[in-house]
Amino acid sequence: MTTELKNDLYLRALLREKTERTPAWMMRQAGRYLPEYRELRAQAGDFMSLCKNPELACEVTLQPLRRYPLDAAILFSDILTIPDALGLGLYFAQGEGPHFTHPINSLADIEKLGILDPNTSLKYVMDAVSKIHHALDGEVPLIGFSGSPWTLATYMVEGKPSKQFTKIKHMLYTQPQALHKLLHNLAINVANYLNAQIEAGAQAVMIFDTWGGVLAHREYQAFSLEYMQLVISHLKREARGRRVPVTLFTKGGGLWLEQIAASGADAVGVDWTVDLGKARELVGDKVAIQGNIDPSVLYADAQVINQTVELAVNDFAQGHDFNSAEFNRGHVFNLGHGIHQDVPVESPALMLEALRKFTERKI
């Protein structure tokens, strides 16, 4: 049975169908820049307690939709839920981000990892997805997500956030088969995890390859893109009578857009180093494109925000007439990465208002 959506612009844009305006959502739209989020996190006690409480995760997911006219909700969770469920002991150090008590140090550690049943070991995520899906009641679609195999592996091997990625790159160049074994395990776990989210109510999914851009050219293909393609090949592509689009986002991946577009994904995410017009030239009609706005633009005043939105819209349009379906076909407006925690809460509203002004039309 087809899920009735009052606003399906986001799903239509991902499938490169005609849209009467360019849809928008913002990475990390539910989070620390919102005072209501900070209150709820204080109530939960800590970040993971918030993630692991389906009722609170549902509430956090809905918070930005009450403030802003967004065209999609995204599950409030963390990309490291899979490594946590695999027994690596995730915790968050004050001011230092995620750490693991039991990082991966050897092939023996990798061989101990199993394949999770996400409906048991990650049931709290599926319960949250189900609650959010029902709470949205068809207002907008719900996006499920996971970190990419490579990105998850970086945290699992480094044991904490890294700037140089020396431990995992040491493994890559000295024990490549061990790393391939880890990445294959993670690809199967990620696919199962995303499929469980789809079954629970997610209407689109996204793979965040946050650290793919730190790889050398050939290594990106072999250690990141190949495993995201494996994930995509195992995904459910239809649920509740509709296609379930998948977006692949490699931060710093602008040089590989053509290869990413050939991955089997429906859409590619781009960061602020990528020109939207040139990106559209490269990918042609293969995939939709999401993103490219520098999150720091949200610090600016209304005039700068307006100019930034107008330029992005025109870059993507590539000279197509405003009333042509090609003007914004396959464009999902978004930031090139997540919202910073100290941006003014008024700024996203200004950005979304500008987008409507520059793209809304009758078709």
Separation CA 55–CA 171 (nearest Å): 40
Is 271 marked active-site? no
DSSP type of residue 136: H
In the block, residue with structure tokens 């490699």:
250
30 labelled binding-site residue: yes
Separation CA 232–CA 207 (nearest Å): 9
CA 253 remoteness from chain centre: 14
Residues 195-210 as b or e (16 or more Cβ within 10 Å = b): bbbbbbbbbbbbbbbb
- 211 and 165 in contact (C-beta within 8 Å)? yes
66 labelled binding-site residue: no
336 labelled binding-site residue: no
Closest CA to 294 of 252, 337, 245, 236: 337
Is 21 marked active-site? no
Residue 138 backbone class (left: φ over 0; alpha: ψ -120 to 50; beta: rest): left
78, 84, 266, 271: the active-site residue: 78
- 126 and 196 in contact (C-beta within 8 Å)? yes
Closest CA to 239 of 11, 10, 16: 11
In the block, residue with structure tokens 């931060």:
251
8 labelled binding-site residue: no
- 259 and 221 in contact (C-beta within 8 Å)? yes
32, 240, 242, 243: the active-site residue: 32
Is 28 marked active-site? yes
Is 285 marked active-site? no
28 labelled binding-site residue: yes
33, 155, 193, 227: the active-site residue: 155
DSSP type of residue 117: -
Is 12 marked active-site? no
Closest CA to 227 of 242, 211, 243, 245: 211
155 labelled binding-site residue: yes
In the block, residue with structure tokens 């720091």:
296
DSSP type of residue 101: S
43 labelled binding-site residue: no
32 labelled binding-site residue: yes
Residue list for the binding site for substrate: 28-32, 78, 155, 210, 337
Instruction: List active site positions.
Output: 28, 32, 41, 78, 155
